[in-house]
């Protein structure tokens, strides 16, 4: 082995041979861990703004700004956690450290809310929070974000490692098993999201914040316990040689910024194998193509929900569907369709394909991108009908009055968005895991997660720019009175952008050179 390699050695086995480690037995523990971890994390994230504006008494604008800043940090920190895991800690120890951070960060608001509830206060006066107390809560929240940054990419990558081809490794088809693992991993976290946003949010709203935060803390205790139960089954990796990784990164940075010493780096970069160049250069177009998709589909959490809030949401007698509950349709689509994809579609495709995975990751992403155009078209048509009904019933200037149109009309666009995610999101996870060097797979998954972090900035800029332009000539497309706005125009625009993004993706995916199996090292 050359001295310039980024070393990637199996972790020392304690009492068992490497041949009995890994496989589905080990991955099962991590799938359960993912479910429990998402329960605890989303139990806080899903209802955070209600906690800040309720018991903490923060103004709505300040609370919204705080939540947005925290949510952005949550999306960025996986890059930090993945880099630390792949170059220093190793994935197993990173997940273990995340578990400890989770217990600490969730224990803090649990104890704080219990103490706050015990203090005497008047029911008629609004709650007040001291700067020290507010600082304490924000420290807890950012520790929670840091824990998630270590856990999310590293736990998922550790699960994928259980199907890596090794000497005496898992028999059969590791690639097909690993593809199936990513399906079931996302199936698990979808259940975690759906359960937390319904059950735990109900506990917080009705049993109190102490009970709610305590339940989240208990979920993390169970998550850590299950993770430790599987310790002897995992096939773990030692971190790579960080100094060589940093040296390569500095060389590419010197070339990018055209520094004076960039000439000396050319020899270093020229000696890198094609895999490194593929990772740095060829992943970027796929990443950018997915960015267009992510920015477009982010509407399900904002404008789709706002659109649904204007409709008749009564189900039966007396039951009114909360607008945000429509988002659960995406999770339920995941829960329903992932088993269908894994257990029905893949076996059928196997009869007609020579590929062990039947559908490649790039093909899977492409299918999702094609589907993602449809919900935007459906949403535009539904909005055109909604505006027509508002005009026919004389409700254009009565935004507070419910449009006599059933909420069932917006259900298809949520389900179609979830169906697109079944192909695209899981495909992107597997692609970024598989196409980076073996020792940097946590970082690969963090790159995937960064797509959905940056999308919020792109979407915010897009909405801001269109609002400024369209409001000059009258009502903005995003008018506070949706009956005078034109969300349908915006949806048509997004459909067109998605088509351009799809065309770019199809071009770059055709010329993309896959990493050859067995190439897992960066060599200088």
Concatenating the DSSP letter of every residue in 199-246 gives IIHHHHHHT-HHHHHHHHHHHHHHHHHHHHHTGGG---BPPP-HHHHH
Cβ atoms of 330 and 196 within 8 Å: the answer is no
Cβ atoms of 354 and 480 within 8 Å: the answer is no
Residue 186, classified by CB atoms within 10 Å of its CB into exposed (0-12), middle (13-18) or buried (19+), is buried
Residue 290 domain-assigned?
A: no
CA angle 455, 459, 462 (to 5 degrees): 140
CA distance 7 to 227: 26
Cβ atoms of 133 and 112 within 8 Å: the answer is yes
Domain shared by 337 and 193, yes or no = no
CA distance 288 to 79: 17
Cβ count near 28 (within 10 Å): 17
Domain of 175: which CATH number? 1.20.1250.20
Q: Which of 366, 301, 303, 287 has the alpha carbon at shortest distance from 331? A: 301
CA distance 93 to 85: 8
Residue 324 makes CB contacts below 8 A (sequence gap 6+) with 305
Domain shared by 208 and 344, yes or no = no
DSSP β-bridge partners for residue 403: 311
Residue 380 domain-assigned?
A: yes
Q: Which of 478, 475, 451 has the alpha carbon at shortest distance from 464? A: 478
Domain shared by 202 and 316, yes or no = no
Q: Which of 178, 177, 185, 148 has the alpha carbon at shortest distance from 29? A: 185
What integer pLDDT is reported at residue 472 of this predicted model?
A: 83
> How many domains are contained in the chain?
2
CA distance 288 to 295: 11
Residue 30 makes CB contacts below 8 A (sequence gap 6+) with 155, 156, 158, 159, 162, 185, 227, 230
Domain shared by 132 and 205, yes or no = yes
Domain shared by 26 and 164, yes or no = yes
Domain shared by 233 and 320, yes or no = no
Q: Which of 183, 173, 163 has the alpha carbon at shortest distance from 343? A: 183
Residue 253 domain-assigned?
A: no
Q: What is the DSSP letter of 281?
A: I
Domain shared by 216 and 307, yes or no = no
CA angle 504, 364, 334 (to 5 degrees): 120
Domain boundary among 215, 239, 263: 239
Residue 314's φ and ψ, nearest 5 degrees, are -75, 135
- Please provide the size of the chain in residues: 524
Residue 118 makes CB contacts below 8 A (sequence gap 6+) with none
The alpha carbons of the chain give a radius of gyration, in whole angstroms, of 24
Domain shared by 215 and 329, yes or no = no
Domain shared by 222 and 329, yes or no = no
What integer pLDDT is reported at residue 345 of this predicted model?
A: 81
Domain boundary among 187, 214, 239: 239
Q: Which of 494, 445, 163 has the alpha carbon at shortest distance from 300? A: 494
Question: Which structural domain range is residue 416 located in?
Answer: 303-524
CA distance 140 to 101: 10
What integer pLDDT is reported at residue 162 of this predicted model?
A: 86
Residue 71 domain-assigned?
A: yes
Q: Output b/e per residue, 37-72; b: 16+ Cβ within 10 A.
A: bbbbbbbbbbbbbebbbbbbebeeeebeebbeebee
Residue 416 domain-assigned?
A: yes
Residue 257 domain-assigned?
A: no
Domain shared by 215 and 322, yes or no = no
Q: What is the DSSP letter of 21?
A: S
Cβ count near 315 (within 10 Å): 12
What integer pLDDT is reported at residue 268 of this predicted model?
A: 45
Cβ atoms of 333 and 419 within 8 Å: the answer is yes
Domain boundary among 212, 239, 266: 239
CA distance 365 to 430: 10
State which residues of the chain have pLDDT below 50.
1-19, 122-126, 166-172, 252, 256, 262, 264-266, 268-276, 517-524
- Please report, to the nearest 10 degrees, the dihedral formed by the alpha carbons of residues 198, 201, 205, 211 taken in order: 120
Question: For 124, how many CA atoms within 13 A lie in the half-sphere containing its CB?
Answer: 0
What integer pLDDT is reported at residue 377 of this predicted model?
A: 94
Q: State the DSSP string of 396-465.
A: TT-TTSPEEEEGGGGHHHHHHHHHHHHHHHHHHHHHHHHSS-GGGHHHHHHHHHHHHHHHHHHHHHHHHH
Domain shared by 66 and 200, yes or no = yes
DSSP β-bridge partners for residue 320: 314
Domain shared by 221 and 370, yes or no = no
What integer pLDDT is reported at residue 263 of this predicted model?
A: 52
Residue 274 domain-assigned?
A: no
3-class DSSP assignment, residue 315 = strand
Residue 209 makes CB contacts below 8 A (sequence gap 6+) with 51, 54, 55, 109, 113, 117
Residue 3 domain-assigned?
A: no
3-class DSSP assignment, residue 172 = coil
pLDDT (tens digit per residue) in 256-307: 455 555 454 445 444 444 444 556 566 788 888 888 887 777 777 678 878 8
CA distance 403 to 407: 10
CA distance 41 to 325: 18
Helices (H) and strands (E) in the chain, counts: 19, 4
């Amino acid at each position: 082995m050359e001295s310039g390699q980024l070393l990637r050695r199996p972790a020392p086995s304690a009492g068992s041979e490497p041949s009995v480690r890994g496989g589905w037995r080990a991955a099962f523990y991590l799938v359960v861990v993912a479910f429990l971890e998402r329960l605890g994390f989303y139990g806080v994230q899903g209802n955070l703004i209600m906690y800040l504006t309720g018991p903490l008494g923060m103004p709505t604008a300040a609370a919204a700004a705080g939540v947005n800043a925290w949510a952005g940090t949550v999306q960025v920190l996986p890059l930090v956690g993945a880099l630390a895991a792949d170059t220093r800690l190793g994935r197993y120890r990173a997940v273990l450290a995340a578990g400890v951070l989770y217990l600490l960060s969730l224990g803090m608001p649990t104890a704080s809310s219990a103490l706050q509830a015990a203090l005497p206060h008047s029911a008629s006066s609004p709650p007040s929070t001291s700067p020290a107390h507010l600082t304490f809560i924000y420290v807890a929240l950012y520790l929670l974000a840091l824990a998630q940054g270590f856990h999310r990419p590293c736990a998922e990558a550790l699960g994928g490692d259980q199907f890596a081809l090794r000497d005496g490794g898992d028999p059969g088809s590791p690639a097909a098993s690993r593809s199936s693992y990513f399906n079931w991993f996302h199936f698990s976290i979808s259940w975690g999201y759906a359960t937390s946003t319904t059950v735990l949010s109900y506990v917080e709203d009705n049993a109190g914040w102490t009970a709610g935060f305590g339940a989240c803390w208990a979920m993390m205790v169970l998550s850590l316990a299950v993770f430790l139960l599987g310790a002897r089954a995992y096939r773990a990796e030692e971190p790579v040689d960080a100094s060589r990784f940093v040296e390569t990164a500095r060389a590419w940075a010197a070339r990018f910024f055209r520094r004076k010493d960039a000439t000396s780096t050319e020899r270093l970069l020229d000696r890198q194998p094609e895999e490194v160049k593929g990772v740095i250069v060829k992943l970027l177009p796929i990443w950018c193509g997915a960015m267009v998709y992510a920015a477009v589909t982010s509407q399900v959490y904002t404008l789709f929900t706002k659109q649904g809030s204007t409709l008749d949401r009564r189900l039966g007698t007396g039951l009114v569907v909360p607008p945000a509950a429509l988002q659960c349709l995406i999770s339920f689509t995941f829960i329903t369709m992932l088993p269908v994809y894994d257990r029905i579609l893949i076996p059928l495709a196997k009869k007609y394909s020579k590929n062990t995975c039947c559908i490649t990751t790039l093909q899977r992403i492409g299918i999702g991108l094609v589907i993602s155009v449809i919900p935007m078209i459906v949403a535009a048509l539904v909005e055109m009908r909604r505006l027509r009904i508002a005009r026919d019933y004389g409700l254009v200037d009565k935004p507070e009055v419910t449009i006599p149109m059933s909420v069932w009309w917006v259900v298809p666009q949520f389900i179609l968005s979830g169906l697109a995610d079944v192909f695209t999101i899981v495909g992107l996870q597997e692609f970024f895991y598989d196409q980076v060097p073996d020792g940097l797979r946590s970082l690969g998954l963090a790159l995937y997660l960064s797509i959905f972090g940056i999308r919020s900035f792109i979407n915010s800029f897009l909405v801001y720019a269109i609002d400024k332009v369209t409001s000059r000539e009258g009502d903005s497309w995003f008018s506070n009175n949706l009956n005078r706005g034109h969300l349908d125009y915006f949806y048509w625009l997004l459909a067109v952008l998605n088509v351009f993004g799809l065309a770019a993706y199809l071009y770059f995916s055709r010329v993309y050179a896959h990493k050859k199996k067995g190439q897992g090292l960066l060599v200088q």
